[in-house]
Structure 1
Amino acid sequence: MPCYLCGARQSDPARGAQPWKRGVRHERQVLICPDCQLTQDWKADLDRCGRCRSTFLLSRLGEIECHSCGHVRSHTSPEPSQPVQQRDAALTNEVEQALSRVLGGLARTPTPRAR
């Protein structure tokens, strides 16, 4: 899974503490790379616990758990203030941007020449 902010991919993690952070955004698990943690306010876009307002959430199998206070809630439908089409359009835009970055990187990779 790539960093949701810049699209960087995590390499095989070494043992011990991991520099990548996890969070939940739009009720989906996301990763944040170490570079984005230093250069951006990465917690601003993350979902928050309804009880304690922490961003230390984990999304799994239809529920979201707060690791700060232990509160567990089920996934919800989109908020009335944000119609499904608007939310889906924003998510589609994020996917298209990430795909564009990946394909742009592939285009710059030299291809082997036939002999």
Structure 2
Amino acid sequence: MPCFRCGARQTDPVRGASPWKRGVRADRQVLICPGCQSAHDWADDLDSCATCGSTALVCRLGEVECRDCGHTRDAAPADLVASGAQAVPAGDGDLSEEVAAALNRVLRRGPAT
């Protein structure tokens, strides 16, 4: 999953805690890369808990849960449309295109047709 702000993709992790942060935006799980964490006030772009106001939310199995207070609610896909946020694509077409382009660069082939 790419960073929701800049589109950067995670690389293979090193040992220890990941520098990437997780959050929920328009009832969808998102990641924030280390660069965007330092360059932007990224927490303002995330959903917050209705009970405690925390942005430490996780979205799983159709529910959004606050990691600070434990409050859960159903994820509402209709909110995505109302908010005007872009949906996360269901398929991995972008990733397969990125992989094809990377293979072409590494193998010094022309563009895929």
TM-score of Structure 1 vs Structure 2, range by shorter chain: 0.7 to 0.9
1:91 corresponds to 2:86: yes
Number of equivalent positions: 100
- Aligned residue number for residue 41 of structure 1: 41
Pick closer, same or farther for the CA change 1:11–1:50 going to 2, 3 Å: same
- Aligned residue number for residue 112 of structure 1: 108
Tell me, in whole angstroms, the C-alpha distance in 1 between the residues paired with 2:107 and 2:5.
29
Supply the AA of the counterpart residue of 1:112.
Answer: R
Gaps of 5+ in 1: none
Tell me, in whole angstroms, the C-alpha distance in 1 between the residues paired with 2:109 and 2:70.
57
- State the Cα distance separating 1:75 from its structure 2 match: 1.2
Relative to the length of structure 2, the TM-score reads 0.73
- Aligned residue number for residue 73 of structure 1: 73
Q: Which runs of 4+ in 1 moved over 3 A?
A: none
Gaps of 5+ in 2: none
Of all paired residues, the percent bearing the same amino acid is 53
1:50 corresponds to 2:50: yes
Tell me, in whole angstroms, the C-alpha distance in 1 between the residues paired with 2:71 and 2:7.
30
